[in-house]
Amino acid sequence: MTLSYQQAIGQLLDAGRRLDARGWVAATGGNLSYRLDDGSVAITVSGRHKGDLVADDIMRVDMNGASLDGKAPSAETLLHTGLYRARPEVNAILHSHPRASVLYSLMVPSAVVVTLTGYEFVKAFPGVRTHEAVVALPIYNNTQDMPALQRKVDSWFENNPQAPAVYLVRGHGLTVGGATVDAARYTTEAVEELMAYELERSRWAR
Ligand SMILES: [Zn+2]
């Protein structure tokens, strides 16, 4: 079921408050979006605190990230439109800066892809039915060149059609797509929990 623009705004405001309650969108970090029926995307404007969003802080962009209503989109808008193009089943995307994900991404500087298995929480990824499944999450180096980053992300999803709609940007944050806003939020919570496990484990392994 797809949402009207007004419904999408309501759900994005709610998601912003919930992510803020967990401390995952500190300062003006993060951005949140929803794919609308007409192929445009409802997304948070640049520079607003995600815990304090009001309806006017949501704007519409086209699939290339261009503003449709004169408001200023975030530079990270391309992280959303690229994932929507790559994954037709994704209707909502949450990009946040949760602490364990950011720290873990910095602790594995040589790895391009982390694999997760043996955790009950891997079942939080769409289509995963057992803790024995192996889930691969790519980690990209951070950059302010969003089109360049988007090209790398696009090629990952093209070459890994089974991979979940999730990736990390090193020292920056986490981007998660889901069929609904809630689904994207649940997967965000699961990934952050898994990253916290991995961080803790890496301390014992020393
Ligand atoms: Zn960010």
60-90 pLDDT, tens digit per residue, is 999 999 999 999 988 889 989 999 999 999 9
Instruction: Look at residue 206 and tell me whether its pLDDT is greater than 70.
Output: no
Cα of 36 from ligand 1 centre, angstroms: 22
Interval 101-106 mean pLDDT: 93
Interval 5-13 mean pLDDT: 97
pLDDT of residue 112: 78
Cα of 98 from ligand 1 centre, angstroms: 10
Give the integer Cα–Cα distance in Å for 32 and 148.
Answer: 21
Cα of 85 from ligand 1 centre, angstroms: 19
Cα of 206 from ligand 1 centre, angstroms: 30
pLDDT of residue 110: 67
pLDDT of residue 203: 83
Cα of 173 from ligand 1 centre, angstroms: 6
Cα of 82 from ligand 1 centre, angstroms: 15
Nearest in space to 108 (alpha carbons), one of 164, 171, 154: 171
Instruction: Look at residue 111 and tell me whether its pLDDT is greater than 70.
Output: no
Cα of 200 from ligand 1 centre, angstroms: 24
Cα of 103 from ligand 1 centre, angstroms: 14
Cα of 19 from ligand 1 centre, angstroms: 13
Give the integer Cα–Cα distance in Å for 164 and 158.
Answer: 12
The helix, strand and coil proportions of the chain, stated in percent and rounded to the nearest 5, come to: 40, 20, 40
More confident residue, 116 or 22: 22
Cα of 57 from ligand 1 centre, angstroms: 17
Pairing of strands 135-140, 166-169: parallel
CA 166 to chain centroid, in Å, comes to 6
Cα of 119 from ligand 1 centre, angstroms: 27
Q: Is the dihedral of CA 20, 9, 128, 138 positive or negative?
A: negative
127-163 pLDDT, tens digit per residue, is 788 888 888 899 998 888 888 998 999 899 999 988 8
Instruction: Look at residue 1 and tell me whether its pLDDT is greater than 70.
Output: no
Instruction: Look at residue 205 and tell me whether its pLDDT is greater than 80.
Output: no
Cα of 162 from ligand 1 centre, angstroms: 25
Most confident by average pLDDT, 44-58, 103-117, 132-146: 44-58
| Structural domains for the chain | 5-204 (3.40.225.10)
Cα of 179 from ligand 1 centre, angstroms: 21
Give helix then strand counts, H and E, for the chain.
Answer: 5, 8
User: Vertex 185, ends 180 and 189: CA angle to 5°?
Assistant: 150
Cα of 132 from ligand 1 centre, angstroms: 31
| Beta bridge pairs of residue 115 | 136
Cα of 130 from ligand 1 centre, angstroms: 31
pLDDT of residue 109: 72
Cα of 96 from ligand 1 centre, angstroms: 6
Instruction: Look at residue 116 and tell me whether its pLDDT is greater than 90.
Output: no
